[in-house]
Amino acid sequence: MATHGEQLYEGKAKILYATEDPNLVIQYFKDDATAFNAQKRGTIMDKGACNNKMSSHLFQLLEASGVPTHFVKQLSDREMLVKKLQIVPLEVTIRNITAGGMAKLLGIEEGIVLARPVFEWHYKSDALGDPLINDDHILALNLATSDELETIRQLSHRVNDMLSAYFAKRGIDLVDFKLEFGRHDGQILLGDEISPDTCRFWEQGTRRKLDKDRFRRDLGDVEAAYQEMLRRVLE
Ligand code: TMP
């Protein structure tokens, strides 16, 4: 483990530590897993190391294709050095195939290939269960500016285009995913992580689930699914 300063924040899956540089923080990836707003808790062995490696790889790929991210470098198995963000209190979800929250919200089956990607804003609040909101809510409550919303929307669609193509080449459908953004030096950067915790990955053809739904829905072989996704991402 690299030396790090005081703990700034502990979330459900990660801890943030200060560094000597006030502009940089360390993201430490835990094995802890929660679902349904932490009503279900568990551990997924080696998840922290897996999600750190996968996110580090994907952030570098996205940077190279013009998506600015908070990634600086991978420090160790479970530690990533990142630019310190003032988090925008929104979670972006993009969906390519119906599943999870969208299937439930609209009472439709999972697995329908959408005619176009569906972009959703959610208000980042554990207490409220990250409710779905629209641009008006965000602007009326000054959660972000309209320029920031436009930037986040464009970057999110670019992430979807990039990652959908990247995973398709590896035999995986990117069903949906969640992104978080923050402000750093007046610029909007992609933050958080990109991993089986934050994406739905289905094997093409079989639709075998290779993501956190195996934990959420007690499908078994959770660790193996995370390791298989890491292998596929790095190949
Ligand atoms: P949902 O269908 O439950 O709304 O989830 C959409 C995507 O967002 C899915 O890929 C899993 C991810 N996600 C998170 O990263 N964090 C969360 O707290 C939730 C509910 C979903």
pTM (predicted TM-score): 0.97
Please indicate whether residue 101, judged by its CB atom, sits closer than 6 Å to ligand 1.
yes
Neighbouring CB atoms inside 10 A of 10's CB total 13
Nearest-CA residue for atom 14 of ligand 1: 198
Q: In a 3-state reduction of DSSP, which class is residue 135?
A: helix
Nearest-CA residue for atom 4 of ligand 1: 101
Look at the domain 88-221 and name its fold.
D-amino Acid Aminotransferase; Chain A, domain 1 (3.30.470)
Q: Which residues contact 209 (CB under 8 A, 6 or more apart)?
A: 200, 201, 202, 219, 225
Please indicate whether residue 89, judged by its CB atom, sits closer than 6 Å to ligand 1.
no
Confidence at residue 220, expressed as pLDDT on a 0 to 100 scale: 98
CA of 101 to the centre of ligand 1 (A): 7
Confidence at residue 2, expressed as pLDDT on a 0 to 100 scale: 57
CA of 178 to the centre of ligand 1 (A): 6
In the Cβ-directed half-sphere of 150, how many Cα atoms lie within 13 Å?
A: 3
- Cα separation, 59 vs 67, in Å, equals 8
User: pLDDT 10s digit of each residue in the chain, 235 long?
Assistant: 556 799 999 999 999 999 999 999 999 999 999 999 999 999 999 999 999 999 999 999 999 999 999 999 999 999 999 999 999 999 999 999 999 999 999 999 999 999 999 999 999 999 999 999 999 999 999 999 999 999 999 999 999 999 999 999 999 999 999 999 999 999 999 999 999 999 999 999 999 999 999 999 999 999 999 999 999 999 9
Q: Enter the DSSP assignment of 186.
A: T
- Cα separation, 145 vs 121, in Å, equals 14
- Cα separation, 100 vs 133, in Å, equals 17
Ligand 1 atom at shortest distance from the alpha carbon of 177: 10
Mutate to test the pocket of ligand 1, among 94, 176, 193 (most ligand atoms within 8 A of CB): 176
Confidence at residue 4, expressed as pLDDT on a 0 to 100 scale: 77
Query: Comparing 7-83 with 88-221, is the CATH topology the same?
Result: no
Ligand 1 atom at shortest distance from the alpha carbon of 176: 10
Under CATH, to which class is 7-83 assigned? alpha beta
Question: Which residue carries 């600015």 as its tokens?
Answer: 68
Q: How is the chain split into domains, by residue range? A: 7-83, 88-221
